[in-house]
Amino acid sequence: MRKALRAFWRILTFPFRALWWLVSLPFRLLKKVSAFLNHEPEENPLPDAFAASIQHPSNLLEHLNDLRKHLLRTLVVLAVCVSIMFIFTPKLIEFLAIPIGGLEKLTAIDVTETVGVFMRIALLGAIVIASPYIAFELWLFAAPGLRPRAKKMGLAGIPLVLVFFAGGIAFSYYFLLPTALPFLLNFMGVEALPRISSYINFVSGLLFWIGVFFQYPLVVYVISIMGLVKPQTLAKGWRIALIVIALAAALITPTGDPVNMSLVMAPMIALYILGIGLSYLAQIGRKKEAKTD
């Protein structure tokens, strides 16, 4: 009889319990997020953590399993973004062909050439629009070992990934390509008739890698929060940084002339200086957090 009454009572109160569960769900989620962001990890220097991983391989396997989960979710989201990009890829290819005069200025030789171009642009576009989520998964993987301030600042900086990425792409498209293409297409007085695959691969690669390099300040800020790099080290190594930037500009720049190299080097140097400034801010924050402990 008690079981029957209990079952009747559960059926009778189910709508109210379901409503309460829905109403309280946001508050419970906020509580879990707050607990996660404010959780203090154990103080464990990097060499000690590495030694502990060697002594106890099971801990390392656990981290690798977590990394596998994050990578799997990232691949799923990337696949969804590729599917979405299929809708916009034709217009995007037309947009990329504007600096050369439109698609009518390009030719195709192989039967599958245009299909390869389509898939490449769809994939690169998906990586760009999914970049904040990719950064979020990386943050989720690293967050358990970060202190509360580092977690919150890292989380707040995730939207900037897309902003910096878009900034690098815009710089390449509106400033670098208009100066590089006339030089390349009429070098030695010989007019080039580029294939669509070579042109799109060249343009998309240039836009993508400069967009990736524009993430440098964010990367420096994150690793500075983690204590893996100091701004003083970056400031003292400016000579080496200039050499590395010059080599990177020579590899990225489609032409070897000083004008285009300067166009690439100038924002790289500005980003390096910005990275030093963000690293100083991260160091100041770490010192304030250490004083409050």
Note whether 266 and 246 are within 8 A (CB): no
Eight-state DSSP code of residue 172: I
204: closest CA among 121, 92, 111, 275?
Answer: 121
Note whether 249 and 268 are within 8 A (CB): yes
Does 26 reside within a domain? no
For residue 107, which phi and psi values (nearest 5 degrees)? -125, 160
Does 267 reside within a domain? yes
- Structural domain harbouring 129: 57-292
Does 23 reside within a domain? no
Query: Three-state SS for 183?
Result: helix
Does 49 reside within a domain? no
Does 114 reside within a domain? yes
Residue with tokens 């760009």: 128
Eight-state DSSP code of residue 107: B
| Cβ neighbours for 287, distance < 8 A, ≥ 6 positions apart | none
Does 214 reside within a domain? yes
Query: How many domains in the chain?
Result: 1
Q: What's the one-letter identity of residue 82?
A: V
What is the residue-level pLDDT of the chain in tens, covering all 293 positions?
Answer: 667 667 766 777 777 777 787 877 777 778 777 776 777 766 554 444 445 555 555 666 776 788 888 899 999 999 999 999 999 999 999 999 988 888 888 888 887 888 989 999 999 999 999 999 998 998 888 777 777 777 877 788 888 888 889 988 998 888 888 877 877 777 666 666 788 888 888 888 888 888 888 888 888 887 787 777 888 888 888 888 888 888 877 777 655 566 667 777 888 888 888 888 888 887 777 676 666 65
Does 164 reside within a domain? yes
Kindly report whether the global pTM for this prediction surpasses the value 0.95.
Answer: no
CA dist 180 and 169 (Å) reads 15
164: closest CA among 195, 210, 197?
Answer: 210
